[in-house]
Structure 1
Amino acid sequence: MSAAELLALVLGAAIVGFSKTAVSGVSTLAVVLYAVVLPVRESIGVLLVLLMAGDVLAVCIYRRHADWATLRGLLLPVTVGIGAGAAFLALAPTDWLRPLIGLVVVAMTLLQVRRRFAPGSGDAVNGGRPAAVGFGSLAGFTTMVANAGGPVMSLYLLRSRLEVARFVGTTAWFFACVNATKLPISIGLGLLRPQRILLCLMLIPAVVVGALVGRWTLSRISQALFESVVLVVAGLSGAYLLFA
């Protein structure tokens, strides 16, 4: 691995930490970086470990603010989505994964754009069991296939009208539980190999640094402007994976 590739992995790990304490959508950039530097299947497993490290930090900070009723309503559809994603990973040719990740990133970016610039457009699917089933299953599938379920959950929770602390706390607990569920599945599918554990451990400090920077930065910059920049970069990065 070249110095430039290692630097890209460190940057991606810091982005993961930043996404857990600042802007959740920025994690799509890490998905793209890891899919470019590492073999695609391995990138999914390595990134999962780093996301779990970020989950620990997020839960420690927001552990008392989860909306458990919302989480219970998502349990079954998310499980179905994870199962569908695992089946896809087990059966799909490796050549499909990189463009699929690009497609997922682009789609999730468009969802974030809709949430960012048309906040009232999702009122028709606000709350209710159909929304939980639709968003939950899609979040499960996208997070299993590409570690890119964040925008789907953000869109759903935004429509659930949770106040800020409960929004962040619910997101933190949701992904802590989901990613822990994905870990044994990912190992069974060969996405996370023992040879990559040392790399994961080396990158975890960058996750911590990114999380601390995220907490410090969020109160000092315009989040609206930052989200707009992230959306543009994520969309272009996803398009690169899709068409390269």
Structure 2
Amino acid sequence: MGKQVIFITGGNDGIGLATAIKFADEGCDVAIMGRRAEQNEVARKKVEASGAKCLTITGDVTVEADVKAAIEQTVDIFGRLDFAFNNAGVEEVPTSATEQNDAEYQKIMDVNVKGVWLCMKYQIPKMLESGGGAIVNTSSVAGLIGMAQVPVYVAAKHAVMGLTKSVALEYARQGIRVNAVCPAAVHTDLYERFTGGNKEMEDMLENMHPMGRSGRPEEVASGVYYLCKEATWTTGQGLAMDGGFTVP
């Protein structure tokens, strides 16, 4: 049996890249799909430093042909697909529900929801061919609770949880587990874009977590690894990784 293989969207930075490196360190080969070819190449070198093979594919998760081709290429190159981390996503600039525009709504829903759906649509048949697998989708604490000023993002991340639960039940007896990670603020490029270098906003984000800090990409990567490799009796769940943020 060859090495196990993971397919990751949004895998060229942040949580996705940390997850790619984690799985490479644990002996898996990795396929990364991202929109930026140059950043994909930087990520490939970092992953291959762990001794794994890394395939990078430039594509857009909102384009069905791109997703289909990326997953087919992964299986053509590596011969199998064991795990998937559907992680590509976009944030929402804080906006009132009555002021958000249609174009922004559509972008957020397309990337965060349609992208996850399209990936699972083409990942699952490939996993079934080799007897099963595990999928982890990136939701958010915003997929578990409500938040003001980011209504479309909250709706999208709740939708990811709905997809996760529904598909988990559909394939529970066919050897495929489907779960989600639900991070609070994690210090990534997206975090930097959101705060814009504003120290007051950064301090606010850090202190809203009971543990007094934001998360690190490597911490979420460990959760993805756990759900894929170790949580063999767990499906349809959202793993809150949030420094206590959602504790009632």
TM-score by length of 1: 0.30
- Considering Cα pairs closer than 8 Å and 6+ residues apart, tell me whether 1 or 2 has the greater RCO: 1
Which has more helix, going by share of residues?
A: 1
Which has more strand, going by share of residues?
A: 2
